Amino acid sequence: MLAILHPNTALDSEAYRQTMEYLENLPGVSIRVHEIQGASQRLTEIYLLGDTKSLEKAEIEALPAVERAIRISEDYRILGRHKDDQRQSGFTYNGVEFSQNNLNIFAGLCAVDVPEHVEMMLQALEDNGEVCTRMGAYKPRTNPYSFQGHGKGCLPWVFEKAGKHGIKVIAMEITHESHIEEIDTCLEKLGRPTGVMLQVGTRNTQNFELLKAIGRQSTYPVLLKRGFGITLNESLNAAEYLASEGNANVIFCLRGMKTEAGLPHRNMVDFAHVPAVKRLTRMPVCVDPSHSVGSRDQSPDGILDVMHATAQGVIAGANMVLVDFHPNPQQALVDGPQAMLLDELPWFLEDMQIARQAWEKRVALAQDNLKSP
- Which residues contribute to the site for ligand PEP (CB under 6 A)? 110, 136, 173, 201-203, 225, 255, 288, 291
- Partner whose binding site includes residue 326, from ligand PEP, Mn ion, none (CB under 5 to 8 Å by kind): none
Measured from the CB atom, the residue of 255 and 356 that comes closer to ligand PEP is 255
- Partner whose binding site includes residue 292, from Mn ion, ligand PEP, none (CB under 5 to 8 Å by kind): none
Q: How far is the CB of 309 from Mn ion (least distance, A)?
A: 15
- Partner whose binding site includes residue 225, from Mn ion, ligand PEP, none (CB under 5 to 8 Å by kind): ligand PEP
Q: How far is the CB of 136 from Mn ion (least distance, A)?
A: 7
Contacts of 208 (CB under 8 A, 6+ apart): 238, 241
> Which amino acid type is present at position 78?
I
Q: How far is the CB of 141 from Mn ion (least distance, A)?
A: 9
Q: How far is the CB of 253 from ligand PEP (least distance, A)?
A: 7
Of 280, 235, 283, 284, the residue nearest 256 (C-alpha): 235
Measured from the CB atom, the residue of 69 and 269 that comes closer to ligand PEP is 269
Of 281, 209, 280, 292, the residue nearest 250 (C-alpha): 281
Helices 155-164 and 178-190: angle between axes, nearest 10 degrees: 50
Measured from the CB atom, the residue of 288 and 351 that comes closer to Mn ion is 288
- Partner whose binding site includes residue 202, from Mn ion, ligand PEP, none (CB under 5 to 8 Å by kind): ligand PEP
Measured from the CB atom, the residue of 41 and 146 that comes closer to ligand PEP is 146
Q: Residue 366, exposed/middle/buried by CB under 10 A (0-12, 13-18, 19+)?
A: exposed
The b-or-e profile of 162-200 (16+ CB within 10 A means b, else e) is: bbebebbbbbbbbbebebbebbeebbeeeeeebbbbbbb
> Which amino acid type is present at position 222?
V
Of 38, 47, 53, the residue nearest 8 (C-alpha): 38
Residues near Mn ion (CB under 5 A) are 110, 335
Measured from the CB atom, the residue of 110 and 186 that comes closer to Mn ion is 110
- Partner whose binding site includes residue 344, from ligand PEP, Mn ion, none (CB under 5 to 8 Å by kind): none
Q: How far is the CB of 75 from Mn ion (least distance, A)?
A: 30
Q: How far is the CB of 251 from ligand PEP (least distance, A)?
A: 13
Can you tell me the distance from the alpha carbon of 373 to that of 198, in angstroms, rounded to the nearest whole number?
46
DSSP line for 99-151: -TT--EEEEEBSS---HHHHHHHHHHHHHTT--EEEB-SS---SSTTS----G
- Partner whose binding site includes residue 211, from ligand PEP, Mn ion, none (CB under 5 to 8 Å by kind): none
Measured from the CB atom, the residue of 131 and 332 that comes closer to ligand PEP is 332
